[in-house]
Amino acid sequence: MQYRELKRCNNIKVSEIALGCEGFIGKSREQYASMMNKAFELGINFIDMYTSDPSFRDNFGAAIKGRRDKIVLQGHICSTWENGQYLRSRDISKTKRAFEDQLKRLGTDYIDIGMIHYVDSVSDLDEVLGGDIIKYCTDLKQKGVIRAVGMSSHNPVTAIKAVETGLIDVLMFSVNAAYDMQPPTENVDDLFEPENYKHGFVNADPLRTKLYELCARENVAIDVMKAFGGGDMLSEEYSPFGVKFNEYQCLEYCLTRPAVASVMAGCHSEEEMEKLTGYYSASREQKDYSSVLSRMEKFKFKGNCMYCGHCAPCPVGINVADVNKYLNLAIAQGGVPETVREHYKLLPHHAGECIACGSCERNCPFEVEVIEKMKKAKEVFGY
């Protein structure tokens, strides 16, 4: 397992592959315990607790008893359970009651990330950030009951606006190659609508690109939901591209977007967890999503680096995908932010070492002019 830091959350390290909670629903308390034992054994230390069904928190609290300090919990705020039904609420009394109940059932006095639940429309965001909900979250953070304020969303317009306020430390966002081609929407169902994939796309939606770059610049970590598009991406029949991805390609795609810290995967069994963590022993070919994207006739990514790494190896050892990523972050900022400068410095080889052999350009399925980009990176970073 590899880990990434949540920079605005005391630099806590979270596993790149993390758990969503839907796979626990309907299981016995013993099964919760054995799934969590397997998660710890595989190095998974991060879980999103979206479900508002209280039995989840009772069973999960029992499963992590005595191991609270070994797990990073992302608990939702504004998600309530009334009369046997999940409700998204902006009612402050109900929100407080639900959050206190969450702590009690989990048997803990803190949640690492207090995630404001599901804000997709700008009007809802204005209500959340202009009223009692954000005050409640910042108060919890000041008291140490949560370590970071999070927000979940599917809409880049809303997410950008939220991140720009500086109030959000962690963003839970739906990321996969298909959604990244879709224009922003306040209705999450649009992202699943086959009609919306019938026309061709030239490149990734610029607002999503802007969101990822903004989060990287502001040290707002993204944890990913819907990496597999609810399973659609893995199916020849339902993949909006008409070509299926495998699990490792989906993980690789998400983990190579700027600012992404973790992918929340809804594993239903210990076997599924083992299969996903096989990502670390998978071959380069198994993880290479460029082979799928470049085969699709309706989608053309000409000239833009997709950070896929397909152009490797470079004879002097330059990681072209990473150099391009840091270059794009610097260009988007109009200067080089300190964090990007540090990341660039840590690369074992730099753009200035490029000997213009052209091997990467011959290998790139998206016709990226890498030699020009290396020259630009040398100019921007100085080496």
Pick the closest to residue 157 from 115, 114, 125, 201 (CA basis).
125
Minimum Å gap between C-beta 189 and ligand SF4 is 31
- Select the residue interacting with ligand SF4 from 306, 327, 332, 340 (CB under 6 A): 306
Number of amino acids touching ligand SF4 (CB under 6 A): 28
Binding to ligand SF4 (CB under 6 A) within 321-350 occurs at 321, 324
What does the radius of gyration of the chain's CA atoms come to, in whole angstroms?
Answer: 21
Task: Tell me: does residue 305 bind ligand SF4 (CB under 6 A).
Answer: yes
Minimum Å gap between C-beta 7 and ligand SF4 is 24
Length of the chain (residues) = 383
Instruction: Report the distance separating Cα 54 and Cα 105, nearest Å.
Output: 8
Instruction: Report the distance separating Cα 152 and Cα 174, nearest Å.
Output: 9
Give the tokens for residue 145. Answer: 């009951």
* Partners of residue 263 on adjacent β-strands: 17, 224
- Select the residue interacting with ligand SF4 from 309, 328, 329, 381 (CB under 6 A): 309
33/331 with CB nearer ligand SF4: 331
Query: What are the DSSP calls for 317-333, one per residue?
Result: ---HHHHHHHHHHHHHH
160/305 with CB nearer ligand SF4: 305
Signed CA dihedral, 55, 59, 62, 64: sign only: negative
- The H or E element containing residue 104 is helix 92-106
- Select the residue interacting with ligand SF4 from 157, 175, 340, 368 (CB under 6 A): 368
Q: Are 111 and 9 in contact (CB under 8 A)?
A: no
Binding to ligand SF4 (CB under 6 A) within 167-196 occurs at none
Binding piece for ligand SF4, criterion CB under 6 A, among 67-75, 115-123, 185-193, 352-360: 352-360
* Partners of residue 111 on adjacent β-strands: 146
Task: Tell me: does residue 202 bind ligand SF4 (CB under 6 A).
Answer: no
Task: Tell me: does residue 314 bind ligand SF4 (CB under 6 A).
Answer: yes
159/251 with CB nearer ligand SF4: 251
Residues that bind ligand SF4 (CB under 6 A): 290, 305-311, 314-316, 318, 320-321, 324, 354-360, 364, 366, 368, 370-371, 374
